[in-house]
């Protein structure tokens, strides 16, 4: 995992959330409810004048949430690595081409005030876990929400609880992310989110030795 050269940023207040990064699958999933909820999320973002930042593309849940935003008058920003762009997937809305996957995640984080995670596969999980890790390390303190459509993230939440039980994760650090069952809950949770105080108090402007001491 490559850590970004970002300074720790404060959690935005409710009035400051103007741009939300959405991580989600490029497939539709096995149940129409996944695409329906993705579209509703995009619609909700548009109706609240919140820009949607995502991985670009027009298919799967990525396409559904982008269409839900655009078709309801909202703005989107797709950030696509050049190899994927050359692969030929059609793009929706404004698109930025970046050289690689690491740059993509860094740019998505910089462009967003919060993160919402929809169902997806390996890529979605990797993006979500990196943002959770960056929060734990105090690179950012932005809201991270999991849209638990059809209980999709139940096993992940169970694994987090097991990790807490086995003392690999601090109890309060399990609250770095919050889950919600429907898009109706997303806006309220974005506005009320508070990053746990048990996160590592690292200052990314300090020297390495100072940060090592703060981990002890």
The pLDDT tens digits for 54-79 are 998 888 999 999 999 999 999 999 99
Determine the average pLDDT of the residues in 150-178.
96
Whether residue 10 is predicted with pLDDT greater than 60 in this model: the reply is no
Q: CATH: 3.40.50.300, 3.40.50.450, 3.90.1150.10, 1.10.443.10. Which one for 17-215?
A: 3.40.50.450
The answer to whether residues 204 and 6 touch, using CB atoms and an 8 Å cutoff, is yes
Share of the chain above pLDDT 90, in %: 69
Query: Can you tell me the mean pLDDT for 177-186?
Result: 93
Report the alpha-carbon distance of residue 51 to residue 36 in Å, rounded.
19
If you average pLDDT over every residue of the chain, what do you get? 87
Residue 27, pLDDT > 60, answer yes
Q: Identify which of 171, 189, 172 has the alpha carbon closest to the alpha carbon of residue 180.
A: 189
Nearest-angstrom CA–CA distance, 189 and 134: 20
Q: How far apart are CA 133 and CA 37, in angstroms?
A: 26
pLDDT one-digit tens code per residue, 118-142: 999 999 999 999 999 999 999 999 9
Overall average pLDDT of the 156-175 stretch: 96
- Judge whether 180 and 146 are in contact, CB under 8 Å: yes
pLDDT bracket for residue 6 (50, 70, 90): very low
**Cα distance between residue 107 and residue 4, in whole Å:** 10
Give me the pLDDT at residue 207, please: 58
| Gap between the Cα atoms of 84 and 99, Å rounded | 10
C-alpha span between 8 and 42 (Å, rounded): 28
Contact partners, residue 207, CB within 8 Å, separation at least 6 = none
- CA-based angle 93:96:100, to the nearest 5? 135
**Contact 109/6 with Cβ under 8 angstroms?**
yes
Q: What local confidence, expressed as pLDDT, does residue 126 receive?
A: 95
Predicted confidence (pLDDT) per residue in 69-114, tens digit: 999 999 999 998 888 777 766 677 788 999 998 999 999 999 999 9
Annotated domain spans of the chain? 17-215
Closest CA to 39 of 108, 118, 94, 123: 118
Which helix (DSSP H) or strand (DSSP E) does residue 179 occupy? Answer: strand 178-180
């Amino acid at each position: 995992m490559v850590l970004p050269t970002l300074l720790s940023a404060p959690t935005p207040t409710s009035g400051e959330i103007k741009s939300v990064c959405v991580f989600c699958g490029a497939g539709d999933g096995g149940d129409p409810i996944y695409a329906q909820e993705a579209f509703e999320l995009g619609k909700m973002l548009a109706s609240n004048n919140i820009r949607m930042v995502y991985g670009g593309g027009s298919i799967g849940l990525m396409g559904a949430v982008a269409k839900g935003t655009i078709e309801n008058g909202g703005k989107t920003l797709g950030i696509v690595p050049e190899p994927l762009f050359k692969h030929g997937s059609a793009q929706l809305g404004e698109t930025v081409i970046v050289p690689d996957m690491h740059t993509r995640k860094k740019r998505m984080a910089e462009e967003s005030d919060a993160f919402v995670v929809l169902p997806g596969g390996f890529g979605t999980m990797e993006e979500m876990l990196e943002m959770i890790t960056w929060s734990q390390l105090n690179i950012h303190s932005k809201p991270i929400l999991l849209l638990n459509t059809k209980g999709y993230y139940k096993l992940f939440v169970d694994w987090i609880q097991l990790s807490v039980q086995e003392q690999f994760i601090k109890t309060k650090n399990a609250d770095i992310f919050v889950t919600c069952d429907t898009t109706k809950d997303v806006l309220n949770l974005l506005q009320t989110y508070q990053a746990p105080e048990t996160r590592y108090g690292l200052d990314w402007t300090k020297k390495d030795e100072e940060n090592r001491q703060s981990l002890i």
